[in-house]
Amino acid sequence: MERILRINMTDRTAIYEDVPETYKERAGRWLTSSIIHDEVPATCHPLGPNNKLVFSPGIVTGTSSPTSSRISVGGKSPLTGGIKEANAGTGWARRLANLGIRALVVDGQATDGFWLVKITCDGATFEPADAWTGEKLSAVYPTVFDKHDGVETVDICSIGVAGEHKMPAAGICFNDQNGRPSRYAGRGGLGAVMGSKGLKFIVVDSKGAPGITPSNQEVFDGGRKKMAAALTEHAITKPEGALNSYGTAVLVNIINEVGGLPTNNFRYGRFDGAAKIAGEAIFEGNKERTGSTLYNHACSPGCIIRCSNTWHREDGTEHTSCIEYESAWALGANCGIDNLDQVAELNQLCNDYGLDTIEIGGTIAVAMEGGLAEFGDGERAIELLHEIGQGTPLGKMLGAGAVVTGKTLGVARVPAVKGQNMPAYEPRAIKGIGMTYAISTMGADHTSGYTIAPEILGVSGKLDPLNPDKAELARNFQYATAFIDTTGHCLFIAFAILDIASGFEGMIEECNGMLGTAWTADDVGRIGKEILDMERAFNQQAGFTPADDRLPEFMIYEKLPPHDVTWDIADSELDKVFGG
């Protein structure tokens, strides 16, 4: 019997509720967005007492389904002022699911310091956590593991100093399989929401947990096997395939080649030093420094793709994990930094201080534009990260993100939508992703739906801004993505399931096996639409209008080399995506 666990930080009580009838098929992003939509006043202050923080494992999380250990985290975002769902891959998600907890809802605010909540079979207990504040997470996690019987027994969710200071660039951190505090529900400042509750850690111990069992084992197993076969077969997701060998940073050279790698705060589409910070350089550099070939590891139990990398110092010791494509770009190319050791240090400081690498890379780049450092000055960038870690006034400005930093420094070129800095795809060169940035309920977010208009890159001739298919494609990708975020699978299964029909069927059958539903492919679109409709309704009530579904103005008047293109998708085209 799955339940909802509600924790009130004001009086430190915990109660279980049955999952209401209306939510009985919902999990992951579908459930976090439902609870935020249904229970949180859209006009509340994100750091005030009326916001809630919701955690929900996906529909198949905790089962033997491959690559499915995602945890969705939802709340009203202090960065965007709208609804937020950020997700991460971690064993923490599996433990919560196996305890039969479909959602964990954190409410209220502690006024007497920071607290650790421990969730076990027997319920939730609270203990003071002030002794662990103000420290780097890599120093803190081992001691919390020691106290709670180790990574074999528990997984830890926490905030770093950025969340303690309630900075809008603060993420929520989870440990990977080796106990590293390195897997983030990074975007949108949910770490600040957790900090505003006075919640420092959520330790989950699944000893004696009942586990979750499918409604129909046979249907579930059939689906799970199809999913595993698709992931194992596909060139991108298979063992020793692109992601397993080079990590997501394999994209650095590729996006650079197409002229879409934002460089020096979105000034250029190509970076001269791209190859130095790319997946190949990480793979070969590790080989030279450790003397062995390192394939990547799984961030969470049961993953077939295994894309999470490590980077090693000259003496062979581990420096950081994981340098994702987004992080290599944000802390590298976007700041003009081509020194992999400096990028690794910046990445590790984000992990240690509890920061979203994308927002912080974007912020440092805006700060460079505003004269706080020269582009390419990695040492100065590292100093700026320490300002954030120390919570100095300068650090707090940076920790508030790119928009606040741009405003403070008088910078007009701030590449953000709805207050959130763009990730690593230049929308002027890759216009489909620009549409996603513009219309996503999350602010500029590449994971809301990868849509890249073909005509811009010359596959099929002329741009036709009135082509209705583009709007339809943008919409359908967002629906499919919202559904995947509900299943508990990592978004990277998309490569395999869009190419291999049986993989897509497998995803639906797994869900049917778990829930006893009879969903077909039609339901993927229906559920995706339901999620997006709720999120859009929340944002509308929070004050968003179509004017917020726009890219920053400088992209309209400034040409991006090497293709010398501007953002030229009509506003009416953007509004058409959701018929707004």
By the criterion CB under 8 A, which residues form the site for other proteins?
235-236, 241-243, 245-246, 248, 250-251, 253-255, 257-259, 269-270, 275-276, 278, 280-281, 283-284, 429-430, 432, 450-452, 454-455, 457-460, 469, 472-473, 476-477, 479-480, 495, 498-499, 501, 504, 520-522, 524-525, 562-563
State the nearest-atom distance from the C-beta of 171 to other proteins, in Å: 24
Beta bridge partners of 308: 297
Question: With respect to other proteins, which residue has the nearer C-beta, 254 or 294?
Answer: 254
Name the one residue in this structure whose structure tokens are 């780097």.
136
Question: With respect to other proteins, which residue has the nearer C-beta, 44 or 498?
Answer: 498
Beta bridge partners of 154: 205
Closest CA to 91 of 305, 303, 238: 303
State the nearest-atom distance from the C-beta of 253 to other proteins, in Å: 5
Do 335 and 364 form a contact (C-beta atoms < 8 A)?
yes
Bridge-based pairing of strands 70-76 and 53-57 is antiparallel
Question: With respect to other proteins, which residue has the nearer C-beta, 284 or 553?
Answer: 284
**Strand residue runs (E) in 19-62:** 53-57
Tell me how far apart the alpha carbons of residues 201 and 178 are, in angstroms, rounded to a whole number.
Answer: 18
My answer on whether omega of the bond before 142 falls inside 30° of 0, hence cis, is: no
Question: With respect to other proteins, which residue has the nearer C-beta, 352 or 509?
Answer: 509
State the nearest-atom distance from the C-beta of 558 to other proteins, in Å: 18
Question: With respect to other proteins, which residue has the nearer C-beta, 63 or 309?
Answer: 309
Tell me how far apart the alpha carbons of residues 180 and 169 are, in angstroms, rounded to a whole number.
Answer: 20
State the nearest-atom distance from the C-beta of 282 to other proteins, in Å: 9
Between CA 495 and CA 502, with CA 499 as vertex, the angle to 5 degrees is 110
Question: With respect to other proteins, which residue has the nearer C-beta, 251 or 333?
Answer: 251
Locate all alpha helices (DSSP H) within 211-258, ordered by sequence. 217-233, 242-246, 251-257
Question: What number of H helices and E strands is found in the chain?
Answer: 22, 16
Do 132 and 22 form a contact (C-beta atoms < 8 A)?
no
Question: With respect to other proteins, which residue has the nearer C-beta, 289 or 396?
Answer: 289
Give φ, ψ of 437 to 5 degrees.
-55, -45
Question: With respect to other proteins, which residue has the nearer C-beta, 218 or 257?
Answer: 257
Question: With respect to other proteins, which residue has the nearer C-beta, 174 or 477?
Answer: 477
Do 193 and 107 form a contact (C-beta atoms < 8 A)?
no
State the nearest-atom distance from the C-beta of 530 to other proteins, in Å: 14
State the nearest-atom distance from the C-beta of 132 to other proteins, in Å: 38
State the nearest-atom distance from the C-beta of 455 to other proteins, in Å: 7
Question: With respect to other proteins, which residue has the nearer C-beta, 14 or 457?
Answer: 457
State the nearest-atom distance from the C-beta of 423 to other proteins, in Å: 14
Distance of CA 384 to the CA centre of its chain: 23
Locate all alpha helices (DSSP H) within 19-69, ordered by sequence. 28-39
State the nearest-atom distance from the C-beta of 526 to other proteins, in Å: 9
Question: 65: part of which helix (H) or strand (E)?
Answer: none
Distance of CA 488 to the CA centre of its chain: 13
Tell me how far apart the alpha carbons of residues 394 and 392 are, in angstroms, rounded to a whole number.
Answer: 5
Question: With respect to other proteins, which residue has the nearer C-beta, 19 or 305?
Answer: 305
Question: With respect to other proteins, which residue has the nearer C-beta, 197 or 563?
Answer: 563
State the nearest-atom distance from the C-beta of 271 to other proteins, in Å: 11
My answer on whether omega of the bond before 44 falls inside 30° of 0, hence cis, is: no
Tell me how far apart the alpha carbons of residues 479 and 577 are, in angstroms, rounded to a whole number.
Answer: 12
Distance of CA 388 to the CA centre of its chain: 21
State the nearest-atom distance from the C-beta of 521 to other proteins, in Å: 4
Give φ, ψ of 555 to 5 degrees.
-75, -15
Bridge-based pairing of strands 115-120 and 199-205 is parallel
State the nearest-atom distance from the C-beta of 252 to other proteins, in Å: 10
Beta bridge partners of 14: 7
Tell me how far apart the alpha carbons of residues 503 and 489 are, in angstroms, rounded to a whole number.
Answer: 12
